[in-house]
Chain A
Amino acid sequence: MTTPQSASRPASPPRVGLFVTCLVDAMRPSVGFAALKLLRDAGCRVEVPDAQTCCGQPAFNSGDTADAAVLARRFIESFEPYDYVVGPSGSCVGMTRAHYEEVLSNDPAWSERARRLGERTYELMSFLVDVMHYTPTDVKLDSSFTYHDSCSGLRELGVHDQPRALLDKVTGLTLKPLEGNDVCCGFGGTFCVKYPSISNAVVTEKAEAIERSGAQLLLGGDLGCLMNMSGKLKRQGSKVRSLHAAEVLAGMGNGPAIGEED
């Protein structure tokens, strides 16, 4: 995968299908609403396909390509009507954009549909910057943050500069670099429960690096990774609060952080 090309901004408001992702839908809808607000602010007409469930990544990464293919076809059918598909997760978008073609490679027609939809499917931060050329205005948050680059977004989709560019426009917010920002947090989907000791060793180191950054906030673009890191930080009694970057950009940075009471 290459970094999405920076084209000129769509002339008329594009019709965007919001790919909520199953974790956001169940665990933290506020990330979905933050995405919705940002996409609207950026000038999109946003719709949310009701029938969306799971993109099939757990099956694909467990070697069950046949079941992943069933879910991939469903996903393609649900989202094909839109100009763009946008999701607040590099991992879920990576699955659809970088892997559906392979998942459906036994069927040339479906594989082609996967490829075409993949070209219009974006991770939220990269869509806002690379496609919509969006700049947040009037967002304030007096705090410091460090940023973890989730692996799929970073390496499958080239998401790195975009969230930083957006967060740079938040008044009062300063970046404190994270040592090993490109190192996996140890989540890895089902990996974290299949190999709990290793996952714990990796996230323990990540939590130490986050503490060393001296930031008040941990931000990222993937809820799975954020739940893993914030869960570790909370268990260790850390004061660092964790939020999805979209929440901060949508002006929800003072709301309850991940794992905090409403």
Chain B
Amino acid sequence: MEIRSKEFKSRAVFAIHDASLQQAMGKARDGFVGKRAQQAAELPEFEALREEAKNLKNHILENLDHYLERYEDAVKRAGGHVHWARDAQEARAIILDICKRVNAKTITKGKSMVSEEIDLNEALIEHGMEVVETDLGEYIIQLANEPPSHIIAPAVHKTKNQVSDLFEAAHGGPRKTEVADLVNEARQVLREKYFRADVGITGGNFLIAETGSSMIVTNEGNGDLTQTLAKVHIVTSGIERVVPTLDDATLFLRLLARSATGQETETYTTISTGPRRATDLDGPEEYHVVLVDNGRSKMLAGHFRDMLRCIRCGACMNHCPVYGSVGGHAYGWVYPGPMGSVLTPLIKGLDNAYDLPNACTLNGRCASVCPVKIPLPDLLRELRHLQHQQELSPVMQRRALKAWRFVATRPKLYHAGEWIAVRVLKLLGRKGSIRRLPFAQAWTDVRDLPTPEGQTFLQRWQAQRGK
């Protein structure tokens, strides 16, 4: 999808005034946060697991080339193919080639954020193929022709009513209003697609270097049907998702579901290794893995390596007050919330997403729940630093900071200026508060500003000592 992060501010305002969005977000937020907290509290070693997962990820990233090569060898041994894509365009071309070669007409898809990142659906549809998202949330937003607004709950911004409308329009009546009925309706529509699918495309939560397997977790089982019933299975994954062994993957599995949805484990955890063997009852005839770089090796080499630990659980956005207020679409690209505010400028360019690292209070709640302890506020601040260095920040802001530094290094000047400001504010106050202040309307439009007490602390202190 075309990046629209430059419109963040206006999209955020729009979202804040969207009543049904706010209704949907409120429900989801309370659910995710409460359930995660309960899971974390019930597992005594949860905090230790986070530390262990961080360290293991760091080790993998330190040796990423080694594990990726081992993984590639293992996939080949199992009869599969590995394709390396430097960027989104290469990834699309590789997948298109496979689909064209097998003359694909219908393509089913499990949830894959990498496929969103590389604009895969548009490319396939452009070439006359039918693409069917099989994750319920993805299916809903595909009907609505919208991008996901959350990395694990793509339709979290939709109310049940809106889903009823979409299904009625797409499937024909009668209109369903109960969740169970809506799910059943989608299931029936999708079931038929699974059997017709020529190609099934899934993401990969983990790629196992020792066995050459891809592992996915879902709550609907849609991923299993996508990858076992189609003639060709294509896995799209970022290069950072490799883990050394199956045993290692279990460490992340213990953290992933708890952090993401507040479940002990997701309903389905499925491991795919190569195409079907002679003795297998079913499975794809071809198995392909497309490993996407798209800016990741640059992150690996620079200040943002920590971001590559991300296991895409979504806890950071679930706990972010900004995401909670504006929803995922305001961010303007595929990855929203704190992790998206780091990834988007790194993948799409600092100047294309100026607001994302800045629209954050640096409150740190995201980092405190991150299962792999990514220091998200530090990374966002580092992006601000790069923006400042490249003079992408507003010129007035840069001048104001210079002026502030000039004054703050001259205590006499600073305290004289402070005294004038305090006097002015004191004069403008009524009954202890200021309700409207020119040049500070961003504050006073929505809240009062307290009037200063009068003398500054240092003035009173010096007067007391002088006595």
Size category of the binding interface on chain A: 35 or more
For B361, give its contact among A56, A62, A188, A196 (CB under 8 Å): A188
- Which listed residue, A26, A203, A227, A260, touches B422 by the CB 8 Å rule? A26
Distance to closest chain A CB from B323 (angstroms): 10
A54 to B415, CA, bound (A): 11
Q: Which listed residue (B367, B384, B409, B435) contacts A61, Cβ 8 A? A: B384
A197 with B457: in contact, given A25-B418, A63-B393, A192-B442 (CB under 8 Å)? no
Most chain-A CB neighbours within 10 Å: which of B9, B361, B393, B418?
A: B361
Q: Mark B124-142, 1 if CB is under 8 A from A, else 0.
A: 0000000000000000000
Shortest CB–CB separation between residue B392 and chain A, in angstroms?
9
From A20, A182, A232, A262, give the contact of B446 (CB < 8 A).
A232
B221 interfacial by beta-carbon distance below 8 Å: no
**A198/B447 contact (C-beta < 8 A), A25-B456, A26-B422, A155-B365 known:** no
The digit string for B384-396, where 1 denotes a CB below 8 A from any CB of A, is 1111110001000
Bound CA span A211–B452, Å: 25
Contact B321 A202 (CB under 8 A): yes
Across-interface contacts of A48 in B (CB, < 8 A) = 457-458, 461
From A9-17, A29-37, A167-175, the one touching the partner chain is A29-37
Report chain A residues within 8 Å CB of B367.
155
B16 touches A201 (CB 8 A): yes
State how many angstroms separate the Cβ of B171 from the closest Cβ of chain A.
Answer: 36
The answer to the question of B460 belonging to the interface, with a C-beta cut-off of 8 Å to chain A, is yes
* B450 x A195 contact (CB < 8 A): no
Say yes or no: A230-B365 contact (C-beta < 8 A), given A61-B381, A67-B405, A260-B432. no
* Structural contact, B360 and A262, CB atoms closer than 8 A: no
When each residue 49-89 of chain A gets 1 if its CB lies under 8 Å from chain B and 0 otherwise, what string results? Answer: 01111101011111111010011001000000000000000
Q: Is the CB of A33 within 8 A of B422?
A: no
Could you tell me if A32 and B457 are in contact, using CB atoms closer than 8 angstroms? yes
> Does B146 sit within 8 A of A, measured CB to CB?
no
Assess whether A200 is interfacial by the CB under 8 Å rule: yes
- A64-B398, A184-B361 known; A193 vs B453 contact (CB < 8 Å): no
Cα–Cα, bound, A256→B440 (Å)? 24
Tell me the bound Cα distance from A33 to B465 in angstroms: 13
Of the candidates A32, A33, A188, A258, the one whose C-beta lies within 8 Å of that of B363 is: A188
Smallest Cβ-Cβ distance to B456: which chain A residue: A25
The listed residue with most A CB atoms (<10 A of its CB), out of B16, B367, B461, is: B461
B361 near A186: Cβ-Cβ < 8 Å: yes
A32 CB to closest chain B CB, in angstroms? 4
With A48-B461, A59-B401 as known contacts, state yes or no: A29 contacts B388, CB within 8 Å: no
| Residue among B383, B418, B442 with most chain A CB within 10 A | B442
A183 and B448 in contact (CB under 8 A), knowing A29-B456, A63-B388, A198-B325? no
Q: Does A193 contact B440, Cβ atoms closer than 8 Å?
A: yes
- Bound CA span A262–B385, Å: 42
Using CB atoms, name the residue of chain A closest to B378: A102
Q: Which residues of B contact A260 (CB under 8 A)?
A: 431-433
Q: How far is the CA of A202 from the CA of B461 in the complex (A)?
A: 36
Which of B363, B404, B460 sits near A59, CB closer than 8 Å?
A: B404
- A26 and B365 in contact (CB under 8 A), knowing A58-B401, A200-B446? no
Contact B381 A51 (CB under 8 A): no
| A27 CA to B448 CA, complexed, in Å | 14
Name the residue of chain A whose CB is nearest to the CB of B359: A195
Q: Nearest chain B CB to A203's CB is how many angstroms away?
A: 7
How far does the Cβ of B341 sit from chain A's closest Cβ, in whole Å? 12
Interface residues on B, range: 35 or more
Q: Does B322 contact A (CB under 8 A)?
A: yes
Instruction: Check B265 for interface membership: any CB of A closer than 8 A.
Output: no
Chain B residue at smallest Cβ distance from A203: B447
Residue on A nearest B368 in the bound complex, by CB? A155
Taking CB as reference atom, which chain B residue is nearest A22? Answer: B418
Residues in B whose Cβ lies below 8 Å from that of A187: 361
B411 within 8 A of A: yes
Neighbouring B residues of A52 by C-beta, 8 Å: 411, 458
Give the chain B neighbours of A61 by CB distance below 8 A: 362, 381, 384
Within 8 A of B (CB), among A193-222: 193-203, 205
Q: Quick check: B452 and A26 within 8 Å, CB to CB?
A: yes
Contact B12 A195 (CB under 8 A): yes
Contact B386 A63 (CB under 8 A): yes
Distance between B431 CB and nearest chain A CB, rounded to angstroms: 5
Contact A64 B401 (CB under 8 A): yes
With an 8 A cutoff between CB atoms, is B348 at the interface? no
Contact B418 A58 (CB under 8 A): no
Cβ–Cβ < 8 Å partners of B388 in chain A: 62-65
**Residue A113, interface by CB 8 Å:** no
A156 within 8 A of B: yes
In the bound assembly, the distance between CA atoms of A74 and B451 in angstroms comes to 29
Is the Cβ of B409 less than 8 Å from the Cβ of A70?
yes
Residue of A at shortest CB range from B419? A26
Closest CB-CB distance, A1 to chain B, in whole Å? 10
Q: Is the CB of B421 within 8 A of A26?
A: yes
Q: Note all chain A residues with C-beta closer than 8 A to B364.
A: 151-152, 155-156
Which one of B393, B435, B450, B458 contacts A28 once the chains associate, using CB atoms below 8 Å?
B450
A183 to B381 alpha-carbon distance, docked (Å): 20
Cα distance A192–B449 when bound, in Å? 13
Q: Which of A213-250 contact B (CB under 8 A)?
A: 227-228, 230-232, 234-235
Residues from chain A with Cβ under 8 Å of B248 in the complex: none
List residues of chain B with CB within 8 A of the CB of A32.
457, 461
Extra A-B contacts (18), CB below 8 Å, given A201-B16, A231-B447: A26-B418, A26-B456, A27-B422, A29-B453, A29-B455, A29-B457, A53-B409, A58-B404, A61-B381, A62-B401, A65-B388, A155-B363, A182-B365, A184-B321, A184-B361, A192-B442, A199-B446, A202-B321
Question: Can you report 13 residue pairs joining A to B where beta carbons are below 8 Å apart?
Answer: A25-B458, A26-B422, A28-B450, A54-B408, A63-B393, A188-B363, A191-B362, A195-B322, A201-B325, A202-B322, A203-B447, A227-B450, A231-B449
Where the two chains meet, the residues of A that have a C-beta atom closer than 8 Å to any C-beta of B are: 20, 22, 24-30, 32-33, 48, 50-54, 56, 58-65, 67, 70-71, 74, 151-152, 155-156, 182-184, 186-189, 191-203, 205, 227-228, 230-232, 234-235, 256, 258-262
6 tightest A-B contacts by CB? A188-B361, A63-B384, A231-B447, A63-B388, A184-B363, A29-B457
